[in-house]
């Protein structure tokens, strides 16, 4: 896949976002695209950069670091969107620009300690459970304010917002509840700017419900290689 292929796919994704935003009375510029590049090779990322994408989401630390090293200096922004493992927090803190999946106090403290002093603060999103019957790791909504306060107290971290991963066929209410929590936290003075929810299949619903960032992989790069 070359940059022209990705640019054409990106135009389609932006059109989908734009139509959803317009229907909700929002502007296209309010929504950022995070290109989910996990399992795709460095040449795909390089082509995506040429097509105008700059934010890349990765689930696996080793795979992501190999891409960073291969690309060298670039304008790419690297977002860790996988499950945060204790033995990987040093590499995540040192090499990534964002972490979207923070749910534990100990990870907050480790990321802060291990973030290099000469790097900008590490941007953090708290991963919130969007539905009560979802058993995947995420923080219940009622525990979010406490973790947000802890993150805000760390010198090397910057709380940017919330991230949610709805279950397949999640009701619209699940998205609206996460948006309401986002608004509630901002009402308390946190100044969050990132509500990350929505992927290829559900980005319209996410945008209509207030997402400021959508995580798009398949629509940009096609199915992940086996």
- Write the pLDDT tens digit of every residue in 163-174: 999 999 899 999
Q: Domain coordinates of the chain in residue numbers?
A: 3-221
**How confident is the model at residue 149, as a pLDDT?**
98
pLDDT digits over 183-217, tens only?
999 999 999 999 999 999 999 999 999 999 999 99
**How confident is the model at residue 203, as a pLDDT?**
97
Q: What is the 3-state secondary structure (H, E, C) of the chain?
A: CCHHHHHHHHHHHHHHHHHHHHHCCCCHHHCEEEEECCCCCHHHHHHHHHCCCCEEEECCHHHHHHHHHHHCCCCCEEEECCCCCHHHHHHHHHHCCEEEEECCHHHHHHHHHHCCCCCCCEEEEEEECCCCCCCCCCECHHHHHHHHHHHHCCCCEEEEEEEECCCCCCCHHHHHHHHHHHHHHHHCCCCCCEEECCCCCCHHHHHHCCCCEEEECHHHHCCCCC
Total-model pTM = 0.96
pLDDT digits over 66-85, tens only?
999 999 878 999 999 999 99
Cα angle 136, 137, 140 (rounded to 5 degrees) comes to 105
> What CATH number does the domain located at 3-221 have?
3.20.20.10
In this model, does residue 10 exceed pLDDT 70? yes
Confidence of residue 224 (pLDDT cuts 50, 70, 90): confident
Q: What is the mean pLDDT of the chain?
A: 96
| Phi, psi angle pair for 37, to nearest 5° | -100, 5
Calculated CA dihedral for residues 154, 155, 161, 163, nearest 10 degrees: -60
Nearest CA-CA partner of 164 in 183, 139, 145:
139
pLDDT digits over 95-146, tens only?
999 999 999 999 999 999 999 999 999 999 999 999 999 999 999 999 999 9
């Amino acid at each position: 896949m070359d940059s022209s292929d990705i640019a054409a796919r990106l135009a389609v994704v932006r059109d989908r976002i734009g139509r959803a935003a317009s229907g909700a009375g929002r502007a296209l510029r309010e929504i950022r695209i995070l290109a989910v590049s996990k399992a795709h090779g460095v040449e795909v990322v390089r082509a995506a950069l040429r097509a105008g994408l700059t934010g890349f989401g990765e689930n696996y630390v080793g795979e992501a670091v190999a891409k960073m090293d291969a690309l060298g200096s670039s304008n790419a922004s690297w977002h860790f969107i996988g499950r945060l493992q204790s033995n990987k927090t040093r590499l995540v803190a040192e090499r990534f620009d964002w972490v979207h999946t923070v749910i534990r106090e100990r990870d907050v403290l480790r990321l802060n300690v291990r973030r290099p002093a000469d790097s900008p603060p590490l941007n953090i999103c708290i991963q919130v459970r969007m539905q009560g019957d979802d058993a995947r790791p995420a923080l219940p909504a009622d525990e979010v304010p406490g973790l947000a306060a802890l993150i805000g107290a760390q010198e090397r971290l910057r709380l940017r917002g919330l991230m949610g991963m709805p279950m397949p066929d999640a009701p619209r209410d699940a998205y609206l509840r996460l948006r309401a929590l986002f608004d509630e936290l901002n009402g308390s003075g946190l100044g969050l700017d990132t509500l990350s929810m929505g992927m290829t299949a559900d980005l319209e619903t996410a945008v209509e419900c207030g997402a400021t960032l959508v995580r798009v992989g398949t629509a940009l790069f096609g199915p992940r290689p086996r």
